[in-house]
Amino acid sequence: MKSNGFSSIQVLLLLLVLSLFSAGTGAGISLTRSFFHRHEALQTELETLRDEITALMVELENDPTPESDSMTDPVWDYIEEKSGDFRRCELTDLSSRLNPNWLRTLFLERTDMKKFLLIGITPDMIKERRAECGYELDIRSAYSELIDPEALHTYFTPCSYLNVNTAYEFALQGMYETLTGDSAGAARFHEYIAGALQEKRIISAADFAAAAGNDYKAVFPIISTLPEMNIHFIPEFLLEQVLLYPYGGEAIENNSALFNLLLSARMDREISPEELRGLIPADGQQERVFHHLGTKTWFWKVDMAADRTSVEAIIVCVPADSCSHTEYRYRLYSFSEVPGEKED
């Protein structure tokens, strides 16, 4: 799979799998070795910050409306309360963006997102960079010569799951092989994805589970039909482009008015998955919009700073299907000190 740009993704998956499926919240956390050799006061601060982030995960997990994440959730009251105890306490949606590591470049070609490509850059060059460099967590370094750096910061992310209806088919094949170790199975999965694209067929959750077969537990939720971005936090311009995209050759009717309606709705209340489907009049191929837009945030970034120490953490939401409903668990994806912010 090296030719398709996924030779480096095993580093990502090592971290991801450890953090997603570890039994305790303390496993799979990336800590710098210097943490353990600092002054006792600094070490105490670091442990305090880590404990606070663990408590924040509990707040996320106890959301009374777990199917939707919005600014009305109790976690924001918790953030406001803790802001008085620390120099900084911020929570940011990290996944309601486009992931250049597996974005279908047709989205760049057929929307105004193409204006963020630098002069002389074509969408095919994004594919070439992926094939050359593989998966890149540092998208600023990997793509700043192709995509406007400010746009990279605002509209793109390296942290997301792969939706089978929106991700580039070779990226899906590469990830499938990395997760299962089965190159033949990954090739068959690619044929399945390519066939659905050719037939203009949207893959349902049941279809995906059947296609993955015995590999389903190995690939879910990293590969899934989970909507990529949260309607409550997606940047306005990106939301507009998702609604303008010509799914199956035709954009959603009255998308400009719909854009304003969705902005107003998300400012006024929390939108449920059912309400979101009722608000967007999508038919046929346009149903693909619901694979871009949902109501859950899969990756959160936390910035916290005590008197002498500042840390940055990424929290990942892991859905687990049960017989009657979907449960959401939260795990630390990464936890690291931010250099240069200590007070003397």
Q: What is the pLDDT of residues 151-171, one digit of tens each?
A: 999 999 999 999 999 999 999
pLDDT tens readout for residues 208-229: 999 999 999 999 999 999 999 9
- pLDDT > 90 in the chain, percent: 71
Neighbours of 145 (CB within 10 A): 11
Q: How many beta carbons lie within 10 A of that of residue 189, not counting itself?
A: 26
pLDDT confidence bin for 13, thresholds 50/70/90: low
Confidence of residue 341 (pLDDT cuts 50, 70, 90): low
The first and second tokens of residue 300, run together, are 């959160």
Residue 10 pLDDT: 46
Residue 14 has pLDDT above 50, yes or no: no
How confident is the model over 246-274, as pLDDT tens digits? 998 888 999 999 999 999 999 999 999 99
Which residues is 303 bridged to in the sheet? Answer: 90, 312
Q: Report the pLDDT value the prediction gives residue 18, as an integer from 0 to 100.
A: 44
Average of per-residue pLDDT values in the chain:
87
State residue 248's pLDDT score. 83
Q: Is the pLDDT of residue 26 over 50?
A: no
State the pTM of this model.
0.88
pLDDT at position 2 is: 47
Average pLDDT over residues 303-310: 89
DSSP state letters, 195-264: HHHHTT-PPPHHHHHHHHGGGHHHHTTTEES--SEETTTS-HHHHHHHHHS-GGG-PPTTHHHHHHHHHH
CA distances from residue 253 to 110, 144, 259, 260, 285 in whole angstroms, order as listed: 16, 35, 11, 13, 13
In the chain the first and final C-alpha atoms are separated, in Å, by 49
Domain residue spans of the chain: 9-95+298-337, 101-156, 229-294
Q: CB under 8 Å to 37, separation ≥6 — which residues?
A: none
Any idea which of 32-46, 193-207, 298-312, 326-340 has the lowest mean pLDDT?
32-46
The answer to whether residues 330 and 75 touch, using CB atoms and an 8 Å cutoff, is no
Q: Quick one: which of 307, 305, 276 has its CA closest to 292? A: 276
pLDDT digits (tens, 9 = 90+) for 81-118: 988 888 899 999 999 999 999 999 999 999 999 999 99
With CA atoms as reference, report the closest residue to 171 among 299, 317, 9, 333. Answer: 9
Output the pLDDT for position 40.
76
What pLDDT sits at residue 306? 87
Q: Is the pLDDT of residue 21 over 70?
A: no
Which whole number is the average pLDDT over 298-316? 93
